[in-house]
Amino acid sequence: MKKIARAALDILTVLITIAALAVIIPRVFGIRAFGVLSGSMEPVYPTGSLVYAVPQKQENIKIGDAVTYVLPAQKTMVTHRVVNINSETRDYIVKGDANPLADAGEVNYENVIGVVKFHIPLAGYAVDFALTLQGRMIVITLMIVLILLMILLQDDMPQTDNTSQKSNP
């Protein structure tokens, strides 16, 4: 039973570590991760995906790029594809892949967080949940349980005697 518990603990530890690293490591390099909450970008970015947006200079963003941007009025993040660029006003016309029409408003370059470079299907659900109060409490509880289980499941290590005996010649 102890071996099964240790294996389950090891697997859970690895999964939590991978999940944390999937969000933390990209952030170190300026890459931001966002959960996809709607089907507007399906099938390329399915609902529940975690998309990674890399900051780009305005001149590097082109038609066809999927960009993540902030809607200032709602303070929400959106990922849609650039379908046209108004270089005079520094605005992008964007559209969700699954939407029949372009979005009503234009997106100013200043509101663009980055160009989506890759995604992980379904991982956005976990990240978005972990960012809620309930999710944070569960993550903290899991971490405490993991630490306690590690302590309880430690193998009995033989104690070594660090005292040295001196011999008298």
Least confident span in 92-96, 107-111, 129-133, 142-146:
142-146
What is the model's pTM?
Answer: 0.74
Q: Is the pLDDT of residue 164 over 60?
A: no
Q: What is the distance between the terminal CA atoms of the chain, rounded to a whole angstrom?
A: 53
pLDDT greater than 90 at residue 101? yes
Is residue 40 annotated as a catalytic residue, yes or no? no
Mean pLDDT along residues 103-125? 94
124 Rama sector, left if φ>0, alpha if ψ -120 to 50, beta otherwise: alpha
Q: What are the Cα distances from residue 153, in Å, to 3, 8, 103, 138?
A: 9, 11, 55, 22
Q: What is the mean pLDDT of residues 93-117?
A: 96
pLDDT at 157: 45
Q: For position 90, what pLDDT does the model report?
A: 85
Residue 154 is predicted with a pLDDT of 74
